[in-house]
Amino acid sequence: MAYPLQLGLQDASSPIMEELTNFHDHTLMIVFLISSLVLYLISLMLTTKLIHTSTMDAQEVETIWTILPAIILILIALPSLRILYMMDEINNPALTVKTMGHQWYWSYEYTDYEDLCFDSYMIPTNELKPGELRLLEVDNRVVLPMELPIRMLISSEDVLHSWAVPSLGLKTDAIPGRLNQATVTSNRPGVFYGQCSEICGSNHSFMPIVLEVIPLKFFENWSMSMTQ
């Protein structure tokens, strides 16, 4: 999760988030180079007294400032499209979890198990234990196995919500009457926090998301204890 005064992205915990972080750095470097070049040209025009009357009519200059932006856009578009296809692709998911948004809590259903479903409410501030995070802790965490492709089916029963976990590179809208799909794969165990990212009413800030990712053998023990 983010720490106070953090300026960059959260540490990546999934392959998709690693790709998004690399693409962010790649695009930011292009923007930095363009900004530096424009700033240099502006400062040059303001400080020099030399005027080249033939520069504005040069065919070569017009060709360069037409082709160069097109090349830059291609350098941004190709990795962006690659990541978009990676985010949409899911082959043989090991587990499917159905997520439903409500005002103002989340409900989860493990469709591969019988009667494994629960609601997830935020823990009020006066009930928090030492070390727990205000406005982020829930009474029932979503427990998932690590290093396995997991399909999340996301929808809503009332208004628009958005299921987002930044460190895993996840942000999918929950729309009433529509089933959206997201892929979850975590490289390491841990507890990952998120929140609803779509303004959904007066208690929009009070429906957090907590994913607890554990090794597969511990997940099997947890699922057996929940279904008994």
pLDDT at 4 over 90: no
At 83-115, the pLDDT tens digits run 999 888 788 899 999 999 999 999 999 999 988
Rounded CA gap, 29 and 167, in Å?
A: 22
Q: How many CB atoms lie within 10 A of CB 16?
A: 19
At 115-171, the pLDDT tens digits run 899 999 999 999 999 988 999 999 999 999 999 999 999 999 999 999 999 999 999
Q: Note the helical H segments in the chain.
A: 15-47, 59-88, 216-227
Mean pLDDT across the chain, nearest whole number? 90
- 3-state percent helix, strand, coil for the chain, nearest multiple of 5: 40, 25, 35
At 160-199, the pLDDT tens digits run 999 999 999 999 999 999 999 999 999 999 999 999 999 9
Q: How many CB atoms lie within 10 A of CB 66?
A: 9
Give the 3-state secondary structure of residue 123: coil
What does R_g of the chain's alpha carbons equal in angstroms? 24
pLDDT of residue 60: 79
pLDDT of residue 57: 63
- CA-CA-CA-CA dihedral for 82, 86, 91, 93, to nearest 10: 180
Domains and CATH numbers, the chain: 15-88 (1.10.287.90), 95-227 (2.60.40.420)
CB 174 within 8 A of CB 154: yes
65-74 contacts, C-beta under 8 A, 24 or more apart? 72/30, 72/34
Question: In DSSP terms, which residues pair with 164 in a beta bridge?
Answer: 171, 195
pLDDT of residue 51: 64
